[in-house]
Structure 1
């Protein structure tokens, strides 16, 4: 196994560093983690080896991490399993590595703005605590016969987050080789990824390494060894940009998200104009049913436009504002989770009471039935005894005494 120097490269202090040496807190990133306050989360210091794992949902990020850290939870559905930044402590040889599992920009429940805020907050908290990445692993499914829209969006966001200088510490790892009909088809797609400018060509030119994650834990270990052998520490563009005073929407990654938002805004506004015209026609025709349907669609569009405006506002934040807002959001999320747990506990308690009440009612009904049977049985015995006595009297009354 390759060894690595735990001392950060260079002695310069990043912009935004407050001059105080970071202390190791109980959990998460030093000096401001985006992680929930749980005992399972490790603390990071500038001397630690930290590697980020990125890619679209379903590319195998959590599976890759699980080869080294059993704490990683693997999802088996179409929904995004990793919805927040998670830290996993792994022991490789004699060394400790921290693998950072990041959500992709195709989350099933959260907008690109929310994902960027989550990732940017974690990266900038790490940057301010002088924690540098030793490398980044970007996973891509070789089994995909074309670059989907979500894959292209993730790739563009990845390039904007990193910047050109950090690309030399990136491993572009292809996964899902077992799903290929032939190795030749996989090799052809790999060459296409490496040679087309819109895919990986420019990244490879700047030093990104293309490796295959095609043999489970074995190839995963080869990827880890490659990164650790580089003995480097890197800062990403989004870290340097926000530390210099830029707001999130002014960073390269922020502008990329906004360009997608602008396309959607124009699309929604065009649809809204069409709906207004259709509503006028429905009113002229006194078509009440059509008016109701158009009103419902328009309400959905208005909600989308409202969320677009809200996302734009959420992008206009400085580094410190983002950290404060994320802390408040996480506190609210924890409070909401606690409230859900209380509600679930109350529901379970009520369900138990209902079961016990039903059981008691069943027992009472059973006792009542048993009592009725006992009364009937006693009545039958009494009637049988009275009948026997009558027979005895009748038989005794038939004798004549002379």
Structure 2
């Protein structure tokens, strides 16, 4: 989710101050970028990815970049230990774009890896604890995160510190590594990106958007025709009145 703090999380946990963190609503991550650091004698690599609904890059390009990167690493037998899905607790409700991101996330990952997924809320310092807990409980709804939690995903919190981030890392490093659904579809099943579940979902969204724009355009054109017709009728009435006066 854009604005959830993916890059901030990575900078805090890795200690790498070169990680660019956005200070606004726009994503600071333009491409898939790995960042490695040493922790308890092991090399840990965190992957920063661009978010969907980025105003600077179309979703099709973002999906292709993620698919290309994950496919290349899968072919090298490099699998992820887990996925940390970040969502700002400052959001009063799950907006349309956040729901779209969640649905895309499900299609990218598939059900087999949900035990390796941490659904993590961020920015707790910006909300009243009671209000934050209320929003967190709402996320447990079956139509939001509840279905994923029921299939193995875990609800967690990131409190903005390295210690808090490392607690999340500790929950994942011992997990059995599994391929993402999109990795299996592209590498093992030899599907094209548009044939994958993620690709189909994105394509359906674009088709629905195109249909909506077409309907809106047709409605505007109809209103314009009616306005012109009404104006013509008004002009004809004025001309008729002027002609009657002249006679």
TM-score (norm 1): 0.54
Measure, in 2, the Cα distance between the counterparts of 1:252 and 1:225.
30
Q: Which has the larger radius of gyration?
A: 1
Match of 1:148 in 2: 95
- RMSD across aligned C-alpha pairs, in angstroms? 1.7
Structure 2: segments with no counterpart, 5+ residues:
233-247
Distance 1:240 1:104 in 2: 22
| 2:211 pairs with 1:266 | yes
Whether contact under 8 Å (2:53, 2:59) holds in the other structure is yes
Matched residue count? 228
The answer (yes or no) to whether the contact 2:7–2:21 under 8 Å persists in 1 is: yes
- Partner of residue 354, structure 1: none
* TM-score computed with the length of structure 2 as normaliser: 0.86
Paired residue for 1:236?
180
Partner of 1:382: none
* Maintained 8 Å contact 1:69/1:89: no
Higher deviation after alignment, 163-172 or 276-285: 276-285
Q: Is the 8 A contact 2:119 2:153 kept in 1?
A: yes
State the 4+ residue runs in structure 1 displaced beyond 3 angstroms: 275-286
Counterpart contact for 2:122–2:159, Cα < 8 Å: yes
**Match in the other structure for 1:104:** 51
- Structure 1 residue 272: deviation in Å? 2.5
1:91 corresponds in structure 2 to: 38
2:122 touches 2:160 (CA, 8 Å); kept in 1? no
Distance 1:200 1:89 in 2: 29
| Secondary structure at the counterpart of residue 165 of structure 1 | coil
Give the superposition deviation at 1:275: 3.9
Maintained 8 Å contact 1:69/1:88 = no
Distance in 1 (alpha carbons) for counterparts of 2:168 and 2:48:
16
1:109-124 alignment, distance < 5 Å: 109-124=56-71
Residue 143 of structure 2 corresponds to which residue in structure 1?
A: 198
Report the Cα offset of residue 76 of structure 1.
Answer: 0.7
Match for residue 235 of structure 2?
none
| Conserved 8 A contact 2:182-2:198 | yes
2:131 alignment counterpart: 185
Report how far residue 143 of structure 1 moved.
Answer: 1.6
Counterpart contact for 1:60–1:139, Cα < 8 Å: yes
CA distance in 2, matches of 1:271, 1:102: 34
Whole-Å separation in 2 of the counterparts to 1:69 and 1:237: 31
Q: Distance in 2 between matches of 1:57 and 1:280?
A: 41
> What stretches of structure 1 of length at least 5 have no aligned partner?
1-55, 287-402
How many Å separate the matches in 1 of 2:92 and 2:213? Answer: 31
CA–CA separation in structure 2 for the residues paired with 1:211 and 1:79: 24
